[in-house]
Structure 1
C-alpha cells in the first residue's frame, strides 16, 4: 500500500452567508434558486435551499485541474483545456486505442495517460465505445439545515442615465432600465463526501494498480488538496457580486487504513459527531485501528487536519 489510508470521508456543517452558488434558472425577471424536498433529522418532510453534488464536484474538479497543471501531472488534451468531454476530446489518444471490446486495456491506457480522468472518472464514448472509469471522489448534495437556512429575493435595477426606455428596448437588445430579482441564501449546510484513495491508479476491470507507486502518491495528494480547496473557495454562480461569506466549518474527517469504508453521518442529524465517534469505536472492535476520526470546529482546524493527512502520504 502506497498511502497510510485507503479512504477518507468528510461530514461537516459549512456556514455560508449571502451566496447564490446554485440556481435553477429564471422565470420572467425572477432568478430561481435551488430548493429540495428532504426529511429532516426529526423525520419531518420539509423544503430547503441546497447546492447540488454536481456543483460541488465541478468545484473540486476545477481546483484539481489547476493543481494538476501546476504539478505537471499527466493530462489528456481535453483535460489540459478543462474540456467537459475530457479524454473524449483527445483525438490523438482515441486513435491509439485498439479493439473497442478490450475494456481492461482501454482503462489501463486512460489511467496512465491522464490523472484527472483517473481521479474524476469518465465515460469513453468515442469510436463506438462505452467504457466507464468510475470517479474516486463522491459528493452528496450540500443541504441547508431547515431551522438555520433562509433564502430571500432582492430587487435590482440596471442603471440607465436616460431612463427613457423600458426593459429590452425597441430592438429587443439588453437596453434600458431593466428590473430584476436575484436570490441570496444564508445558513448552515450539511456536507458529506467520500474519496476512495485506494482506487487511485487502480484498474477496476483488471483488478490491479497500473501506475507506479510514486505517481499514485502524487495523485492522492493532488486529490486531497483539491478537496481542501473546495471548502476554502467554493466556486459557482454570481460570485462577482455575491462572493460567499464563509463563517465556519465544523465536523469530522474520518479515514480508513483498511478496506472498511471511512464512515459518514449526515450533519442533518443533530448529534452526528457523537454518532460518528461511536461508529468508529464499534468498527475498530472488528477491525483494530482501521478507522481514525478527526473532529474540527473551524476552517483553520479543518485545514490543518487535511494538510497533516496530505503530508502523511509522503
Structure 2
C-alpha cells in the first residue's frame, strides 16, 4: 500500500482523575485496585496503580468490532457475535480449514479482519496454530509520586418494612441499624500515567508462515484505516470497570507518534523516563533517536509530538486520511 507506514508507535503521559478501570478483585466488602511494582527513573522500586495492557487491547478490539461492522469488513461467525473464542467458534470455517498451518492462516486472514489484527490461537480440531496480534500494548503505569488511590465509602439502602414493623424498627432502619444495608468500599485513583503502544501495520493481512499477503491491497487499506481509527477511539473513550458511576476524567494527554515506512522500527521510549523532574526527557530522547536513524539520507522515520488530546486526534486523522491503496492518490 502506498503512503502506509510499516510500523507506528505511541508514547504518552495521560492524566486520569477518579478512575477505577482495572481492579484485582474484592475481599469481603472491599474492592482492591490493581497495583504493580516498577523501577522508577530514580532507579528505585515503587508500587503504583496500573491498568493492564489486556484492558487496552480489549478496548481497541471493541472499537474495531463496531467500526468493522459499519464498514462491512469480513468477520468470522464468532467475531460477528463478539465471542471471546472468535474464529474457534466458527464451526463452518474450522470444518473446511486447510490441513497445514499456512493454509489455515490464509483462510483466517481472508475470513476475519478481527482475527487478522487482534491475533488468535487456533485450538479447535486438535490444532495449535498462532496468529500474532498486529497491536502491542504495555501496562499503563502511574508515575511514582504522581498518583494517589483512595477508598470511598458506599452503601446500598434496603428499606423494606413489612406490614407489622414497629415504629422502633422503622426508626432503627433510618439510623442505619437495618441489616439489609450493604456497605462497601470502592477505590478511585488519580494521577499521571505512562502509555506505550506499538502497531505493525505492515502485518495487516500478512501470513507470517508463507511470507505473503493473503488479501488484496484494497482490503488491507480498509482494515488499516479502521484499525487506526479504533486506536484513536481507544484514547477518546476508555472502557473498563465501574464507568457507570466512576467515568474517568481525562484531563491531559501529551506525547509523540512515531512512524517508519521501512523495516527500521518506529522508535518507542517509555514516558516513565524523566520522572516528574524532566517531563520532556522521553520526547527529547525519541527525537534524537529519529535523527540518528535517518542520518543524512531519506527521512523514512518521522516523529510528531502532541500536547493535547485534540492535537493527538488531528495527527491521527491526518495519518488515517493519508492511507491509500497502491496506484491511488492521497
TM-score under structure 1 normalisation? Answer: 0.95
Q: 2:282 aligns with which of 265, 272, 276?
A: 272
RMSD between aligned alpha carbons?
Answer: 1.1
Aligned to 1:116: 114
Partner of 2:136: 138
What is aligned with 1:227? Answer: 231
1:1-314 aligned within 5 A: 1-99=1-99, 102-162=100-160, 163=173, 165-166=178-179, 176-270=180-274, 271-285=281-295, 288-314=298-324
How many Å separate the matches in 1 of 2:62 and 2:311?
A: 24
**8 Å contact 1:2–1:216 — kept in the other structure?**
no
Structure 1 residue runs of 5 or longer lacking an equivalent are: 167-175
Q: Which has the larger radius of gyration?
A: 2
Distance in 2, matches of 1:44 and 1:229, equals 35
User: After superposition, what is the alpha-carbon deviation per residue over 1:163-186, rounded to whole angstroms, capped at 9, x for unaligned?
Assistant: 3642xxxxxxxxx10110000001
Give the SS at the match of 2:304. Answer: strand
Unaligned runs of 5+ in 2: 161-172, 275-280, 325-330
Question: Would the aligned equivalents of 1:18 and 1:242 in 2 still touch at CA under 8 Å?
Answer: yes
* 2-structure distance, mates of 1:252, 1:147: 23
CA shift, 1:286, in A, is 7.6
Q: Distance in 1 between matches of 2:43 and 2:297?
A: 32
Q: Secondary structure at the match of 1:219?
A: helix
Corresponding position of 1:169: none
Question: 1:275-306, CA deviations, whole angstroms, 9 ceiling, x for partnerless residues?
Answer: 00000000111863111001000000000000
Deviation sequence 1:123-158 (CA, Å, 0-9, x none): 100000001100000000000011211100001111
For the Cα contact (< 8 Å) 1:8–1:253, is it kept in 2? yes
Say whether the 8 Å CA contact 1:150–1:186 is kept in structure 2.
yes
Asked if structure 2 preserves the Cα contact closer than 8 Å seen for 1:153 and 1:183, the reply is yes
CA distance in 2, matches of 1:182, 1:191: 24
Q: Using the alignment, how far apart are the partners of 2:5 and 2:262 within structure 1?
A: 7
Q: Using the alignment, how far apart are the partners of 1:295 and 1:137 within structure 2?
A: 21
Q: Specify the alignment match of 1:172 in structure 2.
A: none
The answer as to whether partners of 1:78 and 1:90 remain within 8 angstroms in 2 is yes
Give distance in 2, aligned partners of 1:203 and 1:299.
35
- The Cα offsets for residues 204-263 of structure 1, whole Å up to 9 and x where unpaired, read as 000011100000000000110111000000100000000010111100000001011111
Q: How many matched pairs?
A: 303
The answer to whether the 8 Å contact 1:2/1:213 transfers is: no
Task: State the 4+ residue runs in structure 1 displaced beyond 4 angstroms.
Answer: none
How far the C-alpha of 1:42 sits from its partner, in A, is 1.4
Report the TM-score when normalising by structure 2. 0.90
Query: Residue 313 of structure 1 aligns to a residue in which SS?
Result: coil
Residue 194 (structure 1) shift: 0.4
